[in-house]
Structure 1
Amino acid sequence: MNKYTYRILAATVVLALSLGVGAEAKGSVTRTTTDPSITEKALAAQMNQVSKDKTVNFNNMLVQKNLSDSLGNVAAPEASNLDIDLHGAVTTAIKNNRDITIADLQRKEAEAAVSQAAAAKNPSVSYGWTRSDHKAASSPVTKVVNIDGYPVSTIAGMGPSSTHSYQNSVSVSWPIWTGGAVEGQIDSARYQKNVSDVNYYMKEADTKLSAVKAYYTWLENIKLAEVQDQSVADYASHLNNVQQQFDAGIVAKLDVLTSNVSLANAKQSSIAAHNARDMAEANLKNIMRIPMNTKLNPLDKDFPEPDFDITMDQAILMAQKYRWELIEKDYAVKIANENLRIAKAGYMPTIALGGGYSWNTAGLSGFDKDDWSAKGTISWNPWDGGATQAKIKSAKEAIKVAQEQLLQARESVELEVRQDYLNILAYKEQIRATEASVAQAEEAYKIATVRYQSGVGINLDVLDAELQLNTARTNYITALYNYNIGLATLEHAMGIPAVIHPEFAKAGK
């Protein structure tokens, strides 16, 4: 091969390799615990009690006095205390949430898929090396023998012979035009990357809402436990007063009995309230993904009551613009249109350039031969039995489906926002109503208590007044809880992001 030919081949390979670097395409900007060893040893001890005949195990380990022996000398993780408010709870939850981490990894996976789709437009270089071994035709075999002390060559017969050959080849292929199929696949991959971004932002918003609900549920149960404790204290104080009056012969034994029953019921409610508080705390720690033996201390002592002045129309318009699910549906329509573009490419011709060089030696010594080729290819399939036509029809129907799903989602979002908005208005009114009822119930309880102590009222009046006071306090706390949860739910329904990412500013341009 002469120098001129070698330079052409070398330049072609270098050009193909340099253009191949561009295959790493980027997607477009998107709009916008406990110690396991303890568990393992407990499970191992449990499994050791299973008999071979599959007898049901009634040996409850929870009531065994030697349970600690089966667990071994494993020390429990050291408990810690954590002062937490709403901001800290939400921040920790978003930072530690696994769904967000998975969604972020899926974004990177979608980014790589864009590069993979874009690589189809770039030239490719391939190299092949082949060695072939085969048996040749029979040939005479000579043999040297000694006759009278002299060596003489004789023909011993015909024997097979083997040989081998080599084949080396370098080829370059470059698709110039694919009828829009590759371009459609690239754009579709980019939209899929956008969808993965939106899903990532949506997971953050979902996690924020879950954390807000968990935190306020915990705070609500703390307040409700305090109400039940106060109720127990009120009933106990009243029972002491009834007992004194009974000892003085002023009231009947029935008053003592009914007061005792009311106190016992209040204690039961207090136990349930404390259990609900502890369960709510455990749920919050689970959402935050912090060790379960951490003791949480709330920094918020009371529920906030932030102002709410946005109109329903404003809330709906914002949701229609920023709601994550609607953005995903928008991209679904775009992806469907790209699939139609890919289907229509079946009617278009394709153009490709290529070239190569081959030689039949074991190494690179064959480069001195001029066995090279260059070619251009135009392919067109005017009729494929109707397959392309069917693909186009299917793609058109898929576009209609995506559009209908978008409209359906917009209607669902509007309904959701309206319901959340109306709920907030109702919760706001409930706060005012229950706030007034608490003051009135407190006054009624004081009056009933004084009347009973004075011998004017009856015991039932006091017990009823305490029950009404307990109910009013509970309703007031529940109204505040519902109002704050309603605000968080409406914020989520409007598509307000949980984290302000730098790319949001780019997407808005």
Structure 2
Amino acid sequence: MNKYTYRILAASIVMALSFGVGAQAKGSDTRVTTDPSITEKALAAQMKQVSTDKNVNFNNMLMQKNLGDALTDVAGPEASSLDIDLRGAVATAIKNNRDITIADLQRKEAEADVSSAAAAKNPQLSDSWSFARNKSGTTSAYSNGSPTNTYSNGLNVTWPVWTFGRLEGAIDEARYAKNISDLNYYMTEADTKLSAVKAYYTYLEDIKLAEVQAMSVDDYANHLKNVQQQFDAGIVAKLDVLTSNVSLANAKQSKIAADNARDIAEANLNNIMRIPMNTKLNPLDKDFPEPAFDITMDQAIAMAQKYRWELIQADYQVKSANAALRAAKAGYAPTISVNGGYNWQDTDFPGFQHKGWSTGAGLSWSLWDGGATQAAVKKANAALKVAQEQLLQSRESVELEVRQDYLNILSYKEQIRATEAAVAEAEEAYKIAAVRYSSGVGINLDVLDAELQLNTARTNYITALYNYNIGLATLEHAMGIPAVIHPEFASPLNKAVEEAGK
């Protein structure tokens, strides 16, 4: 190499290094105020837009006569009835839920990604065949100047022997992604179970609340008869009749709303179970259960910290970030591979006459990539720290969630006892007020107030039972208890039950 060539080579290296340093430069300082020029440009662009008038439809189709004639005559699903309890509702929802099906398919995708990543470490075999036709402008001992055909065949094997952790890191990332996908599948099952439990108990609550409103209507109606009889006898004033009528009308309005809420809850439960919306459900549970609650808060938190899906996923995220950092650092190291092949070449088709072989090894080492590896390592380091912070944040959030759910259950349990006593007292107060009014001792307002208090007490009692049962299901979900007992859960769950019982 002459001096001129050396100078050109040195200048090229300096330029490459200078560009690389520029690529590593930090981002510009972030503004902390708005940019008026951006707002002005946005307003200017909006002013240039052409606004077209739209023909808004003000015809209320529901008010049109013979609307059914204009609609396609499609028969809806035939209405049916179904006896259902909590177990049946949850089992049906988990069996038919589309989110669970999607999560299961995503597990298979993640499993295929692991195989794809692992395949990069295996030898790669390729076959090639080519054809060429050419004519030389000169004649020689090998060519008389006429067109010649060339057929070539080859089998080649390439095997990456050592990548200094790049492929291994990619494989580990894929495996951890598969683990996270499995946990997402289990979590989707648990979410579906909780949704089904809430929907079932909401339906049961709305049934009970509708019954309470029906009882209230009956109480007001019976009282109105009594008031009307006394008014006809000239004992009470017209005002008592009017106020009693208003109270009855308000009670009927509340009953209509309660019946509607019950029907909506029924449709919602049908939707979660993915059965026809018009199915008439017959809940086998006529009253809310009140199961025992013996686990301590410390036990609940300990189980959640060990078995909660989000925390296990966060653990895998940290491992995945470590694997990504390992793969990024492999950019500093060389890659070693071996290769071999067998080939044939001839002027006659298919070209298997003249054969040969080759073997070799290669080392590829990027001495300078403009700072790309350094940037990738920085990014991977930051991602690892983010994953670690998210893990700690998730642990704190889960503990707070379990504490809240646990304390709520204790509160709901106390509310059940308090509202249960309130119902008994309100029933007695209503009877006394009704008897006093019939005897001419009490006033109409006492009866109406007593009935209102009775209705409120009954409603509060049902709500307390509902909250208690929903609270138990919510705490179970917060603790990471699986909805479906898969084979891989058997041993850990048995151990967890033993630990909780200590």
TM-score, normalised via structure 2 length: 0.83
Hey, what's the Cα distance between the residues in 2 that align with 1:471 and 1:400?
Answer: 53
Kindly tell me: are residues 54 and 387 of structure 1, through their superposed partners in 2, closer, same or farther at Cα, counting changes over 3 Å?
Answer: closer
- Once the two structures are superposed, what CA deviation does each residue of 1:365-410 show, in whole Å capped at 9, x if it has no partner? 7545342101122333344444333322332222111111100110
Contact 1:438/1:469 (<8 A) preserved: yes
Q: Report the counterpart of residue 300 of structure 2 in structure 1.
A: 315
Q: Report the counterpart of residue 492 of structure 1 in structure 2.
A: 477
Hey, what's the Cα distance between the residues in 1 that align with 2:75 and 2:102?
Answer: 33
* One of 316, 336, 342 as aligned partner of 1:351: 336
Contact 1:171/1:356 (<8 A) preserved: yes
Hey, what's the Cα distance between the residues in 2 that align with 1:72 and 1:408?
Answer: 55
Instruction: Compute the displacement of 1:137 (Å).
Output: 3.5
Q: Report the counterpart of residue 202 of structure 2 in structure 1.
A: 217
Contact 1:168/1:361 (<8 A) preserved: no
Q: Report the counterpart of residue 392 of structure 2 in structure 1.
A: 407
**1:121 corresponds to which letter in structure 2?**
K
- Once the two structures are superposed, what CA deviation does each residue of 1:54-79 show, in whole Å capped at 9, x if it has no partner? 64334433233322222244322211
- Once the two structures are superposed, what CA deviation does each residue of 1:458-477 show, in whole Å capped at 9, x if it has no partner? 11110000000000000000
Q: Does 1:471 align with 2:442?
A: no
Structure with the greater alpha carbon radius of gyration:
1
Q: Report the counterpart of residue 85 of structure 2 in structure 1.
A: 85
Q: Report the counterpart of residue 62 of structure 1 in structure 2.
A: 62
Hey, what's the Cα distance between the residues in 2 that align with 1:210 and 1:64?
Answer: 39
**1:304 corresponds to which letter in structure 2?**
P
State the identity as a percent: 77
Instruction: Compute the displacement of 1:347 (Å).
Output: 2.6
Q: Does 1:100 align with 2:100?
A: yes
Contact 2:149/2:347 (<8 A) preserved: no
Hey, what's the Cα distance between the residues in 1 that align with 2:232 and 2:473?
Answer: 55
- Once the two structures are superposed, what CA deviation does each residue of 1:242-289 show, in whole Å capped at 9, x if it has no partner? 001111111111110000000000000000111111111111111111
Q: Does 1:328 align with 2:336?
A: no
Hey, what's the Cα distance between the residues in 2 that align with 1:415 and 1:358?
Answer: 68
Q: Report the counterpart of residue 132 of structure 1 in structure 2.
A: 132
Q: Report the counterpart of residue 481 of structure 1 in structure 2.
A: 466
Q: Secondary structure at the match of 1:293?
A: coil
Kindly tell me: are residues 364 and 322 of structure 1, through their superposed partners in 2, closer, same or farther at Cα, counting changes over 3 Å?
Answer: farther
Contact 2:345/2:354 (<8 A) preserved: no
Q: Secondary structure at the match of 1:137?
A: coil
Q: Does 1:304 align with 2:296?
A: no
Q: Report the counterpart of residue 422 of structure 1 in structure 2.
A: 407
Instruction: Compute the displacement of 1:124 (Å).
Output: 1.0
Instruction: Compute the displacement of 1:109 (Å).
Output: 0.1
Q: Report the counterpart of residue 45 of structure 2 in structure 1.
A: none
TM-score, normalised via structure 1 length: 0.82
Hey, what's the Cα distance between the residues in 2 that align with 1:85 and 1:168?
Answer: 70
Hey, what's the Cα distance between the residues in 2 that align with 1:56 and 1:392?
Answer: 57
Contact 1:181/1:341 (<8 A) preserved: yes
Structure 1's unaligned 5+ residue stretches are: 1-52, 140-159
* One of 183, 193, 199 as aligned partner of 1:208: 193
Q: Report the counterpart of residue 28 of structure 2 in structure 1.
A: none
Once the two structures are superposed, the pairs formed by residues 325-474 of structure 1 within 5 Å of their partners are 325-361=310-346, 366-474=351-459
Kindly tell me: are residues 363 and 165 of structure 1, through their superposed partners in 2, closer, same or farther at Cα, counting changes over 3 Å?
Answer: closer
Q: Does 1:250 align with 2:235?
A: yes
468-477 or 350-359, which deviates more: 350-359
- Once the two structures are superposed, what CA deviation does each residue of 1:290-347 show, in whole Å capped at 9, x if it has no partner? 1111111111100000001111111111110111111110000000110111112123
Contact 1:176/1:353 (<8 A) preserved: yes
**1:188 corresponds to which letter in structure 2?**
E
Q: Report the counterpart of residue 109 of structure 1 in structure 2.
A: 109
Q: Does 1:238 align with 2:223?
A: yes
Hey, what's the Cα distance between the residues in 1 that align with 2:406 and 2:347?
Answer: 79
Q: Secondary structure at the match of 2:366?
A: coil
Hey, what's the Cα distance between the residues in 2 that align with 1:362 and 1:345?
Answer: 45
Kindly tell me: are residues 339 and 441 of structure 1, through their superposed partners in 2, closer, same or farther at Cα, counting changes over 3 Å?
Answer: same
Contact 1:135/1:162 (<8 A) preserved: yes
Kindly tell me: are residues 397 and 59 of structure 1, through their superposed partners in 2, closer, same or farther at Cα, counting changes over 3 Å?
Answer: closer
Hey, what's the Cα distance between the residues in 2 that align with 1:385 and 1:77?
Answer: 66
Hey, what's the Cα distance between the residues in 2 that align with 1:361 and 1:254?
Answer: 117
Hey, what's the Cα distance between the residues in 1 that align with 2:334 and 2:72?
Answer: 74
Hey, what's the Cα distance between the residues in 1 that align with 2:401 and 2:347?
Answer: 73
Kindly tell me: are residues 107 and 262 of structure 1, through their superposed partners in 2, closer, same or farther at Cα, counting changes over 3 Å?
Answer: same
Q: Report the counterpart of residue 35 of structure 1 in structure 2.
A: none
Hey, what's the Cα distance between the residues in 1 that align with 2:347 and 2:471?
Answer: 77
